[in-house]
Amino acid sequence: MNIGWQEILLILFIALLLFGAKKIPDLARSMGKGIKEFKKGLNEIENPSEDNKSKETSEKKVDK
């Protein structure tokens, strides 16, 4: 199931009709931020020891 350039143009045209030209950049920006936060969360799950070490050392400095 390959999507060709004609299908992509049709999808973009429908998105333009539904959301308008002013909303599409905002939607793309929001989607980019969401993807960035998702990747950040995945990274924290994969490497929790690195994050915990830095948090623990900063908490110890604050407690003193």
Cα–Cα distance for residue pair 7/49, rounded to 1 Å: 45
Q: How confident is the model at residue 1 (pLDDT cuts 50, 70, 90)?
A: confident
Q: How confident is the model at residue 13 (pLDDT cuts 50, 70, 90)?
A: very high
pLDDT tens profile 54-64: 555 655 666 55
Cβ proximity of 27 and 19 under 8 Å: yes
pLDDT tens profile 16-56: 999 888 888 998 999 999 999 999 999 988 887 655 555 55
What's the gap between Cα 15 and its chain centre?
20
pTM: 0.51
